[in-house]
Amino acid sequence: TEATYERVAKTDEDVQAFISLNKEQALEQAAQLDNEPVENRGPLFGLPLGVKDNIVTKGITTTAASRMLEDFVPVYDATVVERLNKAGMVSVGKLNLDEFAMGSTTETSAYKITRNPWNLDHVPGGSSGGSAAAVAAGEIPFALGTDTGGSIRQPAAFCGIVGMKPTYGRVSRSGLIALASSFDQIGPMTRTVEDNALLLQAIAGLDAKDSSSSPIEVPNYKEALTGDIKGLKIGVPTEYLGEGVSEEARAATLEALKVLESLGAIVEEVSLPHSTYALPAYYFITSAEASSGLARYDGVHYGYRSENAKNLDEIYRKSRAEAFGHDVKRRILLGTYTLGAGHYDDIYKKAQRARALVAQDFADAFAKYDVLISPAAPTTAMKIGEDSVDIVTKFMSDILTTPINLAGVPAISVPCGFSNELPLGLQIIGNHFDEALIYKVAHAYE
C-alpha cells in the first residue's frame, strides 16, 4: 500500500487520475490485513484498488466529479466496494470522471483534466478516464469503472488496457450514483485479461440491495482462460466497420481477426441492421432517465445549496444553476423535453421501440455466432480540448459502444495495437451472461 502511494505521488502529478486519496484509511486497513492468517487470504488479498468517484465509499468523499457533491460523504459502501474489501483489497483513492459520468473524454469533470499516459496532450477517454489512466500509468493494477454507453470500454481502448462492461444485472448497482439506471453497469479495468476475470469474479452476483441484479450463478471465470478457441464462431458486424470508423481502427480489427482465425476461429460478416438507430435512442432514453434521476439534487436533500437563495424556489433554482456543469444541464433539458407531454409518444416511446429493435439484432446474431467483434472506438484518443466545441463528434465516438448497452449484453475492450503511438482497442461482444466466453477469446488473443 505504501509503495502504491509512492508511485501515485510520482506519476499522478502528470496524469491527474485521482480526485482524492484516502491514505490514512488505506494504511490502517492494510495494517489490519497483515494480521489475517495466511489461510484466509484470497486471490486479491492486499492488492491496491482505485474506485471511480461515482461509486459511494463509506466515510470517503464521493463527488461524481460534480460541484453538486463536493462535500458529500456517504454513510455506506457500494456493494462492489464492500465485496472487494471482504476479498482483502485496499481501496487507495477515488478516480476522476466526466461529471455524473456524462461524456467521453473526462474533460467535463468539475475538478481536473486527466491526461492520457501514452501522450499527455491527449484525453484518456471517458467517462472512466481516471480509472483507465491510473491503470495504464502503472499507478494501480485494478480499478472499477462504470459503463452506461461505453465509459469502461472506450477509455480502456484509448489507454491500452482491458475493460469489461458486464451484462446488465451481472454486477450490483447498489451505491452507484446513476447516470441512467436501465443502462449503468460497474465493471473491472485492469492490465491483463486474467486480472480482469479475477476482479469480476469478486464483484459479480445477486445482491438483495439491487432488484435488477441477477440470480444466475456466477461461473469460474479463470477456468475459461484455456487459450482454446478452435471452432468458435465469430460474427463481424458490417455496420461497425463502416462510416465514422477510422482506417487505423478498421485495419487493427481486421489484423486481430486474422490472429483469431489462425487460432482456429471461424470468422464471418453479419449485419446488425438497426445500428443507425442506436445512438439517437441511447441519448434520448439516457437523458430522460438522467433528468428524472438528477431531480433529487434540489439543494435540500443532498449536496450543494446556494448561499444566495432567499426562498424555497430559489434554493432549487440557484443550487442547481450554480452546481451543475454545462453538459449536465444540457442533458437535463433534453431529457425533460423528451418526457414532456407533447413529446413522450413521438420521441421517448419511439426511442424505446428502437431500443427493442437493436436488442433483437443482437439476439438474431447470437443465434448464429458465439461472439461478435468490432473496434472498441472509431479513433484513437483525441487531443485535449479538441472536440469540446463539437458535441456531435463527441457523441459519434459512442457509435460502437452504445448499442451494447441498449441490448444489455456484455463486452470487453482489449488492446490491439497502436496508431501514432496511441493505443487501439478490440471489442469482443458476448450474449447475455456469457462473460466467461468473452474472457476466453480475449485471453487467447492477448
Cell numbers at 441, concatenated: 477469446
Rounded distance between C-alpha atoms, residue 90 and residue 45, angstroms:
8
Residue of 8, 44, 102, 260 interacting with ligand GLN (CB under 6 A): 102
Residue 239 interacts with ligand GLN (CB under 6 A): yes or no: no
Instruction: With residue 402 as reference, give the H or E element that holds it.
Output: helix 402-407
147 binds ligand GLN (CB under 6 A): yes
DSSP state of 407: H
Q: Which is nearer to ligand GLN, 131 or 190 (CB)?
A: 131
| In the complex, residue closest to ligand GLN by CB | 151
Instruction: Between 248 and 289, name the residue whose CB sits nearer to ligand GLN.
Output: 289
End-to-end CA distance of the chain: 28
Active site residue: 66, 104, 151, 374, which one?
151
- Nearest distance, CB of residue 287 and ligand GLN, angstroms: 9
How far apart are the C-alpha atoms of 380 and 124, rounded to whole Å?
10
Q: Which stretch binds ligand GLN (CB under 6 A): 8-16, 73-81, 97-105, 222-230?
A: 97-105
Give min distance, CB of 410 to ligand GLN, in A: 14
How many residues bind ligand GLN, per CB under 6 A?
13
- Tell which one of 12, 139, 195, 398 touches ligand GLN (CB under 6 A): 398
Selected from 74, 88, 125, 150, the binder of ligand GLN by CB under 6 A is: 150
By CB under 6 A, the residues from 278 to 337 that bind ligand GLN are: 286
- Segment 172-191, which members bind ligand GLN (CB under 6 A)? 179
Is 127 a known active-site residue? yes
CB 323 within 8 A of CB 72: no
Edge to edge, the sheet with strand 422-430 lists 18-21, 90-95, 48-52, 142-147, 185-190, 162-165, 411-419, 422-430, 371-375, 233-237, 266-270
Q: Is 103 in the site for ligand GLN (CB under 6 A)?
A: yes
When the beta carbons of 1 and 181 are compared against ligand GLN, the nearer one is 181
Nearer to ligand GLN by C-beta: 370 or 398? Answer: 398
Contact call for residue 101 and ligand GLN (CB under 6 A)? yes
Closest alpha carbon to 148 in 331, 381, 420: 331
Q: Give the burial string for 187-213 (b: 16+ CB within 10 Å, else e).
A: bbbbbebbbbbbbbbbbbbebeebeeb
Q: Is 127 in the site for ligand GLN (CB under 6 A)?
A: yes
The grid coordinates listed for 331 are 442533458
**Does the annotation mark 58 as catalytic?**
no
Q: Which three three-digit cell numbers place residue 159?
A: 489507454
Contact residue for ligand GLN among 16, 104, 427, 431 (CB under 6 A): 104
The residues, ordered by sequence, that sit 6+ positions from 433 with a Cβ below 8 Å of its Cβ are 167, 170, 214, 216, 410
- Would you count residue 416 as binding ligand GLN (CB under 6 A)? no
Instruction: Say which of 91, 109, 127, 172 is annotated catalytic.
Output: 127
What residues are labeled active site?
Answer: 52, 127, 151
Q: Which residues bind ligand GLN (CB under 6 A)?
A: 101-104, 127, 147-151, 179, 286, 398
